[in-house]
Amino acid sequence: AQTVTQSQPEMSVQEAETVTLSCTYDTSESNYYLFWYKQPPSRQMILVIRQEAYKQQNATENRFSVNFQKAAKSFSLKISDSQLGDTAMYFCAFRKAAGNKLTFGGGTRVLVKP
Amino acid sequence: KAGVTQTPRYLIKTRGQQVTLSCSPISGHRSVSWYQQTPGQGLQFLFEYFSETQRNKGNFPGRFSGRQFSNSRSEMNVSTLELGDSALYLCASSLAGTDLTGELFFGEGSRLTVL
């Protein structure tokens, strides 16, 4: 079974600054996908960024980038130039190569302060 | 294009009752997954349906069941409700069938309170 761990329950960051969220996972699978999802207060969860395990290059989506360390089973998210709209819960998630079942971490609450 | 629609958005039940939640996926999506979100347990996978067949199931008691219709709409049912079933139930749809890279699109959830 897979496990996903987010060790930071809550983080705060000043607007325009950078924040990095940590995620570690455990799996015996060799091929899989990793995701960061954002859940704003009382709003639906949306995908922030995705990383395929077979790709060595770290994924980037605008202000969001990941540091994927496959050997260390680490998958951190960096939010650059933080904006007030980035305030949300962020979930790290794992998915095997087959199927649509996501295993989520416990989440990190990010508060962006003006 | 309409997103994933879940109904009802909020509901209150009492212990021992049963509840049915509905999820309409994005048009063309054939995979529907259900998740339970609670403060204590976080986000946990319930089950996934694809083309009216349950393809995967999480570690929940048999009181939790689901089904998918030919139009891909899905329902989940919880019988003999317990206080611990109070949660936000999230539905997610995906275009992916055997395509392994399908993104999951989530609905806003149905918030169930059991008294």
B102 touches chain A (CB under 8 A): yes
Cα gap A95→A73, rounded to integer Å: 14
Cα end-to-end distance, chain A, whole Å: 41
Q: What is the pLDDT of residue B96?
A: 67
Q: What's the rounded mean pLDDT across residues B93-103?
A: 69
Residue-averaged pLDDT of chain B: 92
Q: Specify the amino acid at residue B62.
A: G
Which of A37, A89, A100 is the mutation pick for testing B, counting most B CBs within 10 A?
A100
CB contact under 8 A, A100 and B3: no
- What is the C-alpha separation between A59 and A41, in angstroms, rounded? 26
Tell me which of B43, B44, B72, B101 to substitute to probe the interface with A (most A C-beta atoms closer than 10 Å): B43
Q: Per residue in A34-51, pLDDT tens?
A: 999 999 988 889 999 999
A101 vs B103: CB contact, 8 Å cut-off?
A: no
Stretch (H or E) spanning B101 = none
B18: which DSSP letter?
-
- A8-22 average pLDDT score: 97
